[in-house]
Structure 1
Amino acid sequence: MKKVLGKDSTCSIARSLEVFGDSWSLLIVREAMVAGSTRFQEFREALGIAPNILAKRMAALVDEGLMERRAYQEPGVRARDEYVLTEAGRSMAPVIAALAAWGRTYRPRPDGTSPRFTSDDSGTVARLAFVTEDGDRVPPARLTARRFEDLVVD
């Protein structure tokens, strides 16, 4: 049975947290996105996560369509699975970037690291921004959030 968060479980944020409500799931996606990890052992070593927890989170990410399990086999070794981000998983880039930017600003550490996103074409650093339909940037302090019905895109 799927967990339901809060009174208003129809909210898109609550629906997202049903998938990403624990830190391990986001950190797995971060490792796949930033470090290019695809193999179970790579995730284990990078995160220091227990294998049973990692297996459960990886299975959930596959079930939710954020990662895809693919078989691979190195010469002389039994076949194993690797985990590759799907389009839905790669679309988490703005979320990962927003968390990174927030952490750099509000939780800085002298020994900290932080992913930065760059254009594949030019190598130019890309920054997150709220942009109006006219192309104007709006600072977060000048935004108001309100609930609207989801737009269904065919």
Structure 2
Amino acid sequence: MTVLQGVLADRDSWSAVGRCPIEKTMALVGTKSAMLIMREAFYGTRRFDDFARRVGITKAAASARLAELVDAGLLTKQPYREPGQRAREEYVLTTAGLDFMPVVWAMFEWGRKHLDGSPLRLTHLGCGADTAVVLRCAAGHDVGPDELGVAVTRT
């Protein structure tokens, strides 16, 4: 179990409502279509129609989710033009979007393990070994759930 430290240890003296990073992240990407758009962006999808088709949502839903993800800074729009066509925009992962991908991969791994036993695997292209999403401290130690603390820091 995660250990709440310092002022957080007294659960009745504080509330995370409106200030929790999990809550704020879910407000941005807490829909199925937003998560699947992020997956598709990481797989290389860039065009609006491709997002709608690959995620299996209406164009109106794709438009709304893509706009939210751009506003959140996870995707950015870049212009492109095919010969003989009008200028359009495609969607590209930002640095923040790339930083979000371990969340998507953690969900992938959890779902594979606990829901469907999918034959899909995340592998290291360099050697072919399976990969895992892990928590690691700045000193390089893997951190298990019973070794994790949450504390308030002043920046």
Instruction: Please give the TM-score of this superposition, normalised by the length of structure 1.
Output: 0.79
* Counterpart among 77, 85, 90 of residue 77 in structure 1: 85
Is the helix fraction higher in 1 or 2?
2
1:8-63 Cα distance to aligned partner (Å, 9 max, x none): 11011111111012111111000010x20000011111111000011011011111
Pick closer, same or farther for the CA change 1:132–1:65 going to 2, 3 Å.
closer
State yes or no: 1:135 paired with 2:136.
no
Give the secondary structure class of the aligned counterpart of 1:37.
coil
**2:101 counterpart residue number:** 93
Pick closer, same or farther for the CA change 1:133–1:70 going to 2, 3 Å.
closer
Distance in 2 (CA, whole Å) between partners of 1:46 and 1:8 is 34
**1:19 counterpart residue number:** 28
Unpaired segments ≥5 residues, structure 1: 1-5
Q: Which has the higher contact order (CA 8 A, sep 6+)?
A: 2
Give the secondary structure class of the aligned counterpart of 1:83.
strand
Give the secondary structure class of the aligned counterpart of 2:85.
coil
How many pairs were matched up? 140
Unpaired segments ≥5 residues, structure 2: 1-14
**2:60 counterpart residue number:** 52
- The one-letter amino acid of 1:149's match is V
1:57-116 Cα distance to aligned partner (Å, 9 max, x none): 10111111110011100001111110000000011121011001100110015xx46462
Instruction: Please give the TM-score of this superposition, normalised by the length of structure 2.
Output: 0.78
Pick closer, same or farther for the CA change 1:7–1:108 going to 2, 3 Å.
same
